[in-house]
């Protein structure tokens, strides 16, 4: 495959620690200099679609200024929650007449680049609930146990909510720490919860599923889900089980 190098900066344009917003193959990107090394990444946080332009750089990582997701500048790999997908990286080459970049995988063997190997982006997982293939597991066991007493315990409500899976992280909303409070009164339950990001595209799906699993319980007639962003979600709200599942330490 032939190379598609394009000049994106002059050799002396970036000081150590400097950065520049550029376009590489018509893609908004960020060129960052660390010491004598240059890195180019797509200027887009994979968690919420926000630009990384103003994010602080710590070592060889760039931090999303909105929710704190960290990405390795060389590989694009996410280094912490809430991001789970890599950002795209570009090959970078410093020449006498300027700094050049090219999309990964388009560089010919005769003109090697100095940046990291190609990073294959993971496809986001999507959970879709349909009548034929429900996204949540059955609540038959819980419902059967309630018919005798006509009541449901707080533990049963929490267990029901554990059936709701965040389709981006594939972890249930309880272990993620998204559920702030659960209150029941006279066959009604009110849940206050949050999302990992205000721009989370799966928000409506998660809220609807939370309502569905609660109203499946025989002792619950109505479930009200209140969404709040105060306090905002942070990774330290996760349980140890969620951290183990996501490889987050």
The verdict on 160 and 206 lying in the same domain is yes
What local confidence, expressed as pLDDT, does residue 196 receive? 87
High-pLDDT (> 90) share of the chain, %: 47
Distance CA 110, CA 108 (A): 5
How many distinct structural domains can be found in the chain? 2
The model's pLDDT over 227-249, given as tens digits with 9 standing for 90+, comes to 998 888 888 888 988 888 887 65
The verdict on 158 and 93 lying in the same domain is no
Report if residue 42 sits inside a domain. yes
Q: Is the pTM of this model over 0.85?
A: no
The verdict on 89 and 151 lying in the same domain is no
The model's pLDDT over 185-204, given as tens digits with 9 standing for 90+, comes to 889 999 999 998 887 788 88
CATH number, position 88: 2.102.10.10
CATH number, position 233: 3.30.300.130
DSSP assignments along 191-241, one per residue: EEE--S-TT-TTHHHHHHHHHHHHHTSTT-SEEEEEE--SSPP-GGGS-HH
Flag whether pLDDT at 2 surpasses 80. no
Residue with tokens 């003109």: 111
The verdict on 144 and 242 lying in the same domain is yes
What local confidence, expressed as pLDDT, does residue 130 receive? 36
Report if residue 119 sits inside a domain. no
The verdict on 95 and 45 lying in the same domain is yes
Report if residue 60 sits inside a domain. yes
What local confidence, expressed as pLDDT, does residue 246 receive? 82
Report if residue 232 sits inside a domain. yes
Q: Higher model confidence: residue 38 or residue 47?
A: 38
Report if residue 1 sits inside a domain. no
The verdict on 150 and 94 lying in the same domain is no
Q: In which domain, by residue range, is 205 found?
A: 140-246
The model's pLDDT over 129-169, given as tens digits with 9 standing for 90+, comes to 333 333 433 333 333 344 444 568 888 999 999 999 988 88
Record the tokens describing residue 80, joined without a space. 């912490």
What local confidence, expressed as pLDDT, does residue 248 receive? 66
Report if residue 180 sits inside a domain. yes
The model's pLDDT over 46-59, given as tens digits with 9 standing for 90+, comes to 877 888 988 899 99
Is residue 64 within 8 A of residue 52, CB to CB? The reply is yes
R_g (Cα) of the chain, nearest Å: 23
The model's pLDDT over 104-138, given as tens digits with 9 standing for 90+, comes to 876 554 444 343 333 333 343 333 333 333 343 33
The verdict on 145 and 242 lying in the same domain is yes
């Amino acid at each position: 495959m032939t190379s598609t190098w394009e000049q994106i900066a002059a050799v002396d344009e970036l000081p150590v620690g400097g950065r520049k917003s550029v376009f590489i193959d018509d893609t908004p990107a960020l060129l960052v200099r660390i010491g004598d090394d240059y890195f180019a990444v797509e200027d887009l946080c994979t968690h919420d679609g926000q630009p990384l332009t103003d994010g602080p750089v710590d070592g060889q990582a760039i931090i999303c200024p909105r929710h704190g997701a960290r990405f390795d500048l060389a590989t694009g790999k996410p280094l912490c929650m809430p991001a789970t997908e890599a950002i795209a990286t570009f090959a970078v080459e410093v020449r006498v007449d300027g700094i050049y970049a090219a999309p990964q995988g388009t560089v010919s063997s005769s003109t090697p680049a100095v940046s990291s190997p190609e990073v294959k982006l993971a496809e986001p997982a999507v959970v879709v609930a349909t009548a034929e293939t429900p996204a949540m597991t059955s609540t038959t066991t819980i419902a059967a146990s309630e018919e005798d007493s006509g009541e449901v315990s707080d533990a049963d409500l929490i267990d029901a909510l554990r059936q709701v899976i965040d389709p981006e992280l594939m972890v249930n909303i309880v272990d993620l720490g998204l559920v702030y409070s659960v209150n029941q009164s006279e066959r009604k339950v009110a849940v206050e919860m949050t999302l990992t990001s205000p721009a989370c595209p799966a928000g409506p799906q998660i809220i609807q599923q939370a309502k569905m699993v609660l109203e499946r319980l025989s002792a619950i007639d109505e479930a009200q889900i209140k969404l709040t962003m105060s306090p905002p979600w942070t990774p330290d709200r996760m349980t140890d089980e969620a951290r183990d599942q996501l490889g987050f330490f």
